[in-house]
Structures are given as C-alpha cells and as structure tokens.
Chains A and B, each alone.
Chain A
Amino acid sequence: MNIGTILAAISIIIVVGPIAAAVIMYKDNLIALIMPDIEELTDKIGDYFPRIEYVGYEIIDPESSFRVMFNVTNNSDEDLTFNTINFSAYCSQHEEVLLGYGHGEDFPLTISGRSSGILSLYVTCTKEGQTHIETHHRGDANFHAILKNVLVVVQGVEVELGDEIDVGPIEIPP
C-alpha cells in the first residue's frame, strides 16, 4: 500500500471514527447526542435565581429614614453579586403619595454560593413623604410602603421590575 493511500485512510479515520463512535454510543437516543439535557439545565438555571424573603424594617430617623431588610438565599454554587438597587417608595394606602427614594445599602453585596445573606435597603423620605406620614400615619401600626420603579443590577445585568413590592407592616411611632 503506498503512503498516499495510507494518509488518505488516516484522514478519513480521523474524521469518521469519532463521529461513528458517537452515533454508536447514542444509537438508542440520537436526539441526546445533539441536544443538551433540557430538564437538568432548567433545574440548574432555576437554582440560580435567589429566594428573597422580607425580614423586617428598622426606623433610623422617625422623621426621615428607615431601613428594609430581606433575606436572600443563594441556591446556586456560584456567588451572586448585587451591584445596585434603586427604587421609589410610595404610601400603600394613598398610592399617589411619594414617600421617598431608596437604594441598596453596603453595595455591592455578594452572597456566596449555597448560603444566605441580608440585603438592606435604605429609604430616605422626601419632605412631602415626611409630612404625609406625620399627618396621616403617626401611630399607625399597620403602615405599608410600596416600592416602585425598582431597578436592580445583579451580576452586571440590569433588571427593571414591572411588579411593585409591598413592604410592611411598619409601625410608625406616635
């Protein structure tokens, strides 16, 4: 056999060999050869999204600011970093009244893989918001705020939430 024939055979074996092996190995389910395992992928991607639960609030200055805390559970193996969070806070009972603006505290916040952490949001009341709380909600034990226009930057991805977030009950001092 001349060398040209041997080299041609090697060329064919190099290309056909692995592909033939793949077809033989997956002969019972050829779709699995060309498609990723969607079910497993969906489960893992589902774990990537953190579970966020409202924990409570803390009044920093009864007239001008408060803090809202959430527990964030990261179910994935990867670290999760919140870069920024910005939002507007409105009165739940009087929806048109803007109470103030808020942002994430001590950001960027990184929650390690397979662990939980506290995410704090700091809300600063506007003059209008302060007046509204003093006039309508002083001593209110069941005050709720609604967070709107929530803009979250997480892992470099900017997400503008369409949903509003209800926070409360917050006890307003008399």
Chain B
Amino acid sequence: MEFTKINWPGLGCSITAATLVALSILYAAPWWQVAIGDGVGQAEISPLDYKANLAGASIEIPIIWFLTLVGKLTMAACTVAMFIHSVSTQKPFSKHLLGFAYKKPFLILVLFIVMLVVSTYMVGTFFGVNVPLTGTITLSLFFGGATAKIPISTSFTWVFWLAVATAVLAIAAKIYEWKVLKT
C-alpha cells in the first residue's frame, strides 16, 4: 500500500464515524441535551439515539427508535465504505464508494440541525418561550392559581462537534480525491 495513495481525510472520516457509531451503541451518547429543572426532565438526542423523560416518566415514541436505527445504519455504512475507499483509492470501485459515503455525515448533520431548529421553534409556538439551541431560559407556567418558574438548559455535547468534524472530513475526502489523488 502506498501512503501517498491513501485518502487521509477519508481515513480520518471513517475513524470519527466509527467512533460516533461506537459511542452510540455503547453509551447512547447524545449530540444535544436539554435539562428541565434539577432532574425534573431531560432529553438526550442525536440522529443515532433518543432518550427523554419528564417527571420520572420515559417518553417513548416508537418511530424515533426506527429513525435512529436508520441513522446508525447510515453512519455504519459510511464508515465501512469510506474506509475501503481510503485505503484502496486506485481500485475501480473506489470512486463509487466515495460517492456513496461522502455526503452521508453531512446530510445527517444538516437534518439533525434542521430538526432541532424546527423543534425549538414549535416549542416556542406552543409554549410561548424561545428555547435556545444552547443556553438557559426560565419558563413561567400558571396552573391552578400557582406560578411555576422552570429553568431549562440546553447544550451541544462534544459528540456533536465530533459529528461536525466527521462531516467536514467527509467533504474534505471528496475534495482530496478530486484535487490530490486524481493529479
């Protein structure tokens, strides 16, 4: 194997994508999380996993399990295809593998961000409170003559930034193949 013929960004992408899949399977590692009060409720969300509970009750929506399975399979397929492409760039099938793999991490990331923005917008529409993608707000609720002030904190985790790195490396792998390996 010639080192100059390896698609290094592609190899990096396959490693980070494999890490994302492993983190999901082993720890259900979220990309974004929301915490309500001090343990009143929380949601840990990524395109590969979903976990939410409110007041001790787990909120399970079956379709989300299937959608996160799509996310896991897509990322796993990307990992395998990108790895094989990266170490065999001179093979005739290699270009097809790159075409198959390079858009997937980027699409998953974009869909995830769009879903987050839409979800927070819908929460704002229904509850009249603008939940930031990252930060803390206090939601005021009035019920039965009582007033409740509920702190809500949201944040991206380091796994999200690993997903960003994976998407960037995937695009870089395509550019590398186009600008460096082809010449």
Chains A and B form a bound pair: yes
Write the residues of chain A forming the contact surface with B, with a CB cutoff of 8 angstroms: 3-4, 7, 10-11, 14-15, 17-19, 21-22, 26, 32-37, 40-41, 44-45, 47-49, 76-79, 81, 83, 155-163
Known pairs A34-B61, A41-B59, A163-B146; A19 contacts B66 (CB<8 A): yes
Total residue contacts A-B, CB cutoff 8 A: 106
Q: Is the beta-carbon distance between B62 and A32 smaller than 8 angstroms?
A: yes
How far does the alpha carbon of A99 sit from the alpha carbon of B19 in the complex, in Å? 63
Residues from chain B with Cβ under 8 Å of A79 in the complex? 39
Q: Is the beta-carbon distance between B55 and A18 smaller than 8 angstroms?
A: no
Cross-interface CB contact of A14 among B56, B59, B61, B73, cutoff 8 Å? B73
Q: What does the 1/0 interface line of B23-60 toward A look like (CB < 8 Å)?
A: 00000000000000111100000000000001111111
Known pairs A3-B93, A18-B69, A162-B147; A35 contacts B57 (CB<8 A): no
Q: Is the beta-carbon distance between A41 and B57 smaller than 8 angstroms?
A: yes
Cross-interface CB contact of B146 among A3, A15, A36, A161, cutoff 8 Å? A161
24 pairs across A/B with beta carbons < 8 Å?
A4-B96, A7-B81, A7-B96, A7-B97, A18-B69, A22-B66, A32-B62, A34-B63, A41-B59, A44-B56, A45-B55, A45-B56, A47-B56, A78-B39, A155-B37, A155-B39, A157-B38, A157-B149, A159-B149, A160-B146, A160-B148, A161-B145, A163-B144, A163-B146
Residues from chain B with Cβ under 8 Å of A35 in the complex? 61
How far does the alpha carbon of A65 sit from the alpha carbon of B9 in the complex, in Å? 72
- Contact-residue bracket for chain B: 35 or more
Known pairs A155-B37, A159-B148, A161-B146; A78 contacts B70 (CB<8 A): no
Residues from chain B with Cβ under 8 Å of A49 in the complex? 55
Q: Is the beta-carbon distance between B57 and A156 smaller than 8 angstroms?
A: no
Residues from chain A with Cβ under 8 Å of B62 in the complex? 22, 26, 32-34
Known pairs A78-B39, A81-B38; A3 contacts B63 (CB<8 A): no
Given A4-B99, A33-B62; 14 other pairs, CB 8 A cutoff: A4-B96, A7-B96, A11-B77, A11-B100, A19-B66, A34-B61, A37-B60, A47-B56, A76-B55, A78-B39, A78-B56, A155-B37, A155-B38, A160-B148
Cross-interface CB contact of A44 among B55, B69, B148, cutoff 8 Å? B55
B74 within 8 Å of A (CB atoms): yes
Residues from chain B with Cβ under 8 Å of A19 in the complex? 66-67, 70
Known pairs A34-B63, A35-B61, A159-B148; A3 contacts B96 (CB<8 A): yes
Residues from chain B with Cβ under 8 Å of A36 in the complex? 59-61
| Closest B residue by C-beta to A13 | B73
| Closest A residue by C-beta to B64 | A34
Q: How far is the CB of A135 from chain B (nearest CB, A)?
A: 33
Residues from chain B with Cβ under 8 Å of A83 in the complex? 38
Q: Is the beta-carbon distance between A18 and B66 smaller than 8 angstroms?
A: yes
Q: What does the 1/0 interface line of B57-91 toward A look like (CB < 8 Å)?
A: 11111110011011001100100010000000000
How far does the alpha carbon of A10 sit from the alpha carbon of B177 in the complex, in Å? 23
How far does the alpha carbon of A41 sit from the alpha carbon of B59 in the complex, in Å? 7
Residues from chain B with Cβ under 8 Å of A33 in the complex? 62-63
How far does the alpha carbon of A17 sit from the alpha carbon of B77 in the complex, in Å? 14
Residue in B60, B66, B145, B150 whose Cβ sees the most chain A Cβ within 10 Å: B66
